[in-house]
Amino acid sequence: MLNVCRTVCSQKLKTIRLFSSDTIFALSSGHGKCGVAVIRVSGKNSPTALKLLTDSNVLPKARSAILRRIKHPISKETLDRGLILWFPGPKSFTGEDSFELQVHGGIAVVNAILNALGSIPSLRLAEPGEFTRRAFHNAKLDLTEVEGLADLLQAETELQRRQAYLQTEGSLSKLYNKWKKTLTNGVAHVEAHIDFGETETLEPHLIEHVAKDIHILARDIEQHLADGRKGEILRNGVKTVILGEPNVGKSSLLNLLCERPAAIVTPIEGTTRDVLEVTLNIHGYPLVLADTAGLRSSTKDIIEKEGIERALKLYEKSNLVILVVDMEKYRNWKRIHEERGINKYLKEYVDKLKISNLIDASDENISFTKQCLVVFNKSDLGQDEDASIDEDHFVRISCKTEDGVAKLTHMISQKLRILCGEPSEEHPSMNQLRHRQHLSDCLKSLQLFLDEVSSDDTKEYDLVIMAEYLRKSLRQLGKLVGNVTTDQLLNVIFKDFCIGK
Ligand SMILES: Nc1nc2c(ncn2[C@@H]2O[C@H](COP(=O)(O)OP(=O)(O)O)[C@@H](O)[C@H]2O)c(=O)[nH]1
Ligand SMILES: [Mg+2]
């Protein structure tokens, strides 16, 4: 379809008056058959294009849906009847004059209208993300809002949608712009000091006042950075690895949670070698769940050894571990070691699996170095009265009878809430490495500024250097919201958009 349009675009019909340039159009709804398709046009020749398509000299009422026949600009043939929405700039998504057509979603209908638009000189098919890029250049959105919009289009779960929506609505933007304002104030005051010195026109102790504001700002940024990467984890999905020795039911558990036989299950040890990943939506949180090879050191099989290495690598990078234990084996161990508790068993277990650093345990207490749930599987194979299993992070299940699975899902969702948090407007979380880098650099310069303030007992500050530290911090915030950008950065951000957005 797009090829057809490109061809028509390149063969601009000379019979119609040539427009200056750069009005773009695209199908903004998804490709393929659908009930209604939305076609968007933006740029200074939108009014002319709209008049040509409706075969009228009058533009419709702004921002109202109006039913019209849509005609080919040259042949005047009616192509379809649909709703027209006219958005004169700057009150439009892009900030430019633009309009949208809601037409029947058949492939031929959409093709005919795109071809009709392509036949109008100076109109061309939009590049991916070009509408949003124009909105950014016309200051309709800042960079964090653009990123929020990209995430909104990619969001697969409810909580991802909520986080992206709040960001599109400016939750991060408001926070970062508030910080920018404080910094701009600080820079202005320090520069005034450089220009005028401590004259009567300047407030006494100005630098101390600026330092107080910067101190609060540095603390706020520090707190924002120390959020356990909640926003990033929610955006990317919670990386969860199922670990345990062979044959404990790891693959059975993955199949049960994703409700399909994704992994091969057999009684043969070493069945799973490759890492098998599935993406799940648990109570609105995204879970990237990986089944792995059973961990054992006895194998001579080089393929299984490679699988074990991959499992251990994944363990290092994971946000959440689901440690699977065979209930039968634990019961047998308990019969021999009556005096020893469950913590001892788990400590021996992780030592054997060569993931000792997962657990800190004494007889009474157990703690985990990363978020972890311990699943005692195969509960169907025998009765047991070991009450110590029913703790916060232990759960007894049977993949065979599905007993305990609802409880496990509930416990997983609690872990997901801890890892991702709840997106909120008041305390938005950053969710991209880019944000983290700019904020860390901003904080470094703020700390240098504060070091200058505290290092000089005589209060004879080097104001030139101090102003430069603040300007550097300000530049980082500018990069964050997009006042200071490069084409390279913009290309990276806009590459994730589709045509029509
Ligand atoms: N009785 C019983 N058998 C199970 C249970 N879960 C898994 N199994 C069996 O244990 C064997 C190993 O299961 P699998 O999921 O391949 O274990 P993995 O090696 O840890 O991935 C298979 O024969 C499964 O049918 C369970 O809850 N109860
Ligand atoms: Mg397996």
At 13 the pLDDT is 33
Do 395 and 249 sit in the same domain of this protein?
Answer: yes
> Are 86 and 217 in the same domain?
no
In this predicted model, which residue has the larger pLDDT, 4 or 113?
113
Residue 442 falls inside a structural domain: yes
The pLDDT confidence band at residue 498, using thresholds 50, 70 and 90, is: confident
| Residue 7 reports pLDDT greater than 60 | no
Main-chain phi, psi angles of 326, to 5 degrees = -85, 115
335 and 402 inside one domain: yes
Residues with Cβ within 5 Å of ion ligand 2?
A: 250-251, 272
Backbone angles phi, psi at 468, to 5 degrees: -65, -40
The verdict on 6 and 115 lying in the same domain is: yes
The residue type at 336: I
Domain CATH code at residue 486: 1.20.120.430
Q: Which of 420, 451, 480 is the last residue of a domain?
A: 420
> Domain for residue 152, yes or no?
no
What is the identity of the amino acid at 178? K
What local confidence, expressed as pLDDT, does residue 199 receive? 57
Residue 238 has pLDDT above 60, yes or no: yes
Residue 358 per-residue DSSP state: G
**Does residue 197 line the site of ligand 1, with CB under 6 A?**
no
Query: What pLDDT does residue 1 have?
Result: 38
Same-domain pairing of 69 and 115: yes
* Whether residue 413 is found in the same domain as residue 440: no
In a domain, 326, yes or no: yes
Among candidate residues 389, 420, 451, the one where a domain is terminated: 420
Element (H, E) at 86: strand 78-87
- Measure Cα distances from 177 to 174, 432, 485 in Å: 5, 18, 16
Contact 241, 200 (CB under 8 A): no
Same-domain check for residues 314 and 370: yes
CA–centroid distance, residue 400 to ligand 1 (Å): 8
pLDDT of residue 282: 96
- 302 and 336 share one domain: yes
Q: Which of 264, 323, 330, 399 to mutate to test the pocket of ligand 1 (most atoms within 8 A of CB)?
A: 399
- For the chain, the domain total comes to 3
Residue-averaged pLDDT of the chain: 89
Looking at the predicted structure, is the pLDDT value of residue 358 above 80? yes
Q: Is the CB of 255 under 6 A from ligand 1?
A: no
CATH number at residue 376: 3.40.50.300
Check whether residue 381 and residue 461 sit in a common domain. no
Same domain assignment for residues 409 and 341: yes
| Domain C-terminal end among 75, 102, 126 | 126
- Secondary structure of residue 98 in the 3-state scheme: strand
Q: What is the mean pLDDT of residues 457-476?
A: 86
Q: Which domain holds residue 220?
A: 158-227+430-494
Whether residue 195 is contained in a domain is answered as: yes
Q: Say which CATH number the domain at 101 has.
A: 3.30.1360.120
Residue 405 lies in a domain: yes
Q: Are residues 196 and 279 in the same domain?
A: no
Q: Is 247 in the pocket of ligand 1 (CB under 6 A)?
A: yes
Specify if 395 maps to a domain.
Answer: yes
Whose alpha carbon is nearest atom 13 of ligand 1? Answer: 249
Whether residue 237 sits in one domain with residue 223: no
